[in-house]
Amino acid sequence: MPSSQKTSKNKSKGEPAKKAPKLPPQADLPTSYAEKQGSGGETHQTTGDASATLTTQQGHPVADDQNSLRAGPRGPTLLEDFILREKIFHFDHERIPERVVHARGYGARGVFELTDSLSDYTTADVLSKKGQQTETFVRFSTVAGRAGSFDLARDVRGFAVKFYTNQGNWDLVGNNIPVFFIQDAIKFPDLVHAVKEEPDRAFPQAQSAHDNFWDFASLMPEAWHMIMWQMSDRTIPRSFRTMEGFGVHSFRLVNAAGESTFVKFHWKPRQGLQSVLWNEAVKINGADPDYHRRDLWESIESGDFPVWDLGVQLFDQDTADALPFDHLDATKLIPEEDVPVRLIGTLTLNSNVDNFFAETEQVAFCTQNVPPGIDFSDDPLLHGRNFSYLDTQLKRLGSPNFTHIPVNAPRCPVRHFQQDGHMAMVNPKGRANYEPNSWGPEGGPRENPAIGFRSFPAGVAGEKSRIRSETFADHYSQARMFYRSQLPIEQKHIADALVFELSKCVRVDIRARSVSHLRHIDEELAAKVADGLGMALPDPAQAAKPTLDLPTSEALSIIANGPDSFKGRKVGILLTDGSNAGLFAGLTSALEAEGAVWEVIAPKIGGVVLDDGAAVAGSQKIDGGPSVFYDAVAIVPSEEGAAMLADDAPTKDFASDAFAHCKFIGYNEAALAIFGSARIPADLDDGFIALASAGDVKAFVKTCRLLRYWQREQGVDFDKAPDRKRKERK
């Protein structure tokens, strides 16, 4: 038995006690070693010098390199032992493809600044030193589509952040939705197989509107909270900049005293929340499948850096026990009204990548990458993710040395005995490639229990079994809470999405089985969807537990959490030869003062000549710059220009789409001819703002802060059109 192996004082009945082996006298060991014999029979080779501390490949200091993490002294080795897995993983591959999920992604560099210290809760340096700045890399992505798919698929968005901390890389690998479809990682391959293209025909691509997905979902009651999120506008965001991010799982923070606090991580966009309409998304994908990529690139290039606040929900075991659900269930969230989100730092994306492949494509995230002071809860989905990601990197990047790639390399010192393998760029020097060894200071790094990673000693009890906890059995209460927390227009969009998706299912029984779950969420929703599908309302699905009427949460609504300005948004200004120069100057000046962006749409890309003789270049040709690209539009042609464009199909689409998508529309008198040909109702609603003076321009920009004139769509809901306030066309 090696001299450094731990032994336990515990023994099973009937077995003789085993004595810890005696070490040779201290004088026989190299002087850099220190012997530590603890009350549990612990023995380590240690060093007090942090510069010689043994680390993982991610740069995390190692406290114990002699023993794997087990459930009890004689219990099974635990899946979450990332130090063990990395060490064996690398050894297994010492001798010498597109991502399966999240293939389509886009990344940027940034910086995280801590504004509120959590040093009372954690020893993690990145969360302890107020004012400290940490380099980051962020990758946004869709989940189901391939690398060549389009940006605005109805899909979950990945929101993965790599922090290059002083204690090793921390990967917060999250989504723009705080819950997930499944509770146990063993179902992840089934989920992904079901949602991706059907294997016999290889379509549909990057969408869930097909029989396989809804067959799976209708047989998995636990998925229906996530289904509500997926069918909401959360899955068609306006941009990466206008969506939230979530760590999804409960993690632990561990402080210097060894005390644990549960934590959930939230990213809150300073830009406010915003999404697009489904019809709008379809048209954007056709006109610019790189819409989200282009938006992020251009905002960073222009210096309008996207910013998110990092928030945490901190709670103890007593709070967890008092919740009406299990916080270890990844299909559940903790409402912010129950456990408030404490903002502790800011993430600013301030630099685009130099090379997409080298950085965005090769960046490797692993949920297991956590520095000392951050630890895992017993969420079974999280444990499965910890197992999976490392193998994924080997498949994709071809070598256990993926941490040698600059975008993945820790920024802190890395010292270990892992060697060789394909594409090894950095290896330890010297004779010793193992430990313990007796080569003295030249023998390489040593364990450092003082600063190394230690798992929180959470109690483990019970028989090993394959069983789902009864505390995970309430599948509909939070789905109901989410749906009822939406504003009426958002509820309409969920119903519309469900009807559209299920209408693509050929099998009637799959449609019926899906609607049967909706009856536990909201009877009116179930009735609307059944009516939209032209089917009778089916009996409710069998529920494992009664559905609770939980309080609603305003934090779950996109519209209720929109921006307080029009900053960072884009306006399309349709001009022709002879357009009013004063109006154009006033409009662009007001938009720039708001921090908004504008583009000129012209009959020809060469631009137009205004009524004062000034030439203005076009940003887009009218048939290449549809109104779906913009958050609001201003249509201000000359009379001659309007007469010319009134019969132009792209121009009519520009106006009619802006109207149909509830955009705010600024206009002059000449634009009325275009509205008439586009069949926009003559009695213009309050979403139209006449632009005749400087005061009108300011009112237009101020009104645009609301982003949409939702009353326009609510007037054409499923059954009846309520009265809408109109104003007379001038």
Distance CA 384, CA 609 (A): 62
Tokens 């390199």 belong to which residue?
65
Q: Long-range contacts of range 325-329, CB-CB < 8 Å, 24 or more positions apart?
A: 325/471, 325/474, 325/477, 325/478, 326/469, 326/471, 326/472, 327/250, 327/262, 327/264, 327/377, 328/250, 328/377, 328/378, 328/379, 328/380, 328/469, 328/471, 328/472, 329/183, 329/379, 329/471, 329/472
CA distance to 106, 338, 727, per residue, from 245 (Å): 15, 19, 40
Q: Which two tokens stand for residue 291?
A: 């819409």
Say which of 44, 90, 102, 520 is annotated catalytic: 102
| Torsions phi, psi for 628 (to 5 deg) | -65, -15
Q: Which residues touch 139 (CB under 8 Å, ≥6 apart)?
A: 102, 105, 106, 107, 158, 160, 360, 363, 365
Say which of 169, 175, 352, 580 is annotated catalytic: 175
What is the Cα Rg of the chain in Å? 29
Distance CA 566, CA 630 (A): 12
Distance CA 627, CA 152 (A): 16
Residue length, the chain?
730
Catalytic residue flag (residue 175): yes
HSE-up of residue 271 (Cα within 13 Å, Cβ side): 28
Active-site annotation, residues: 102, 175
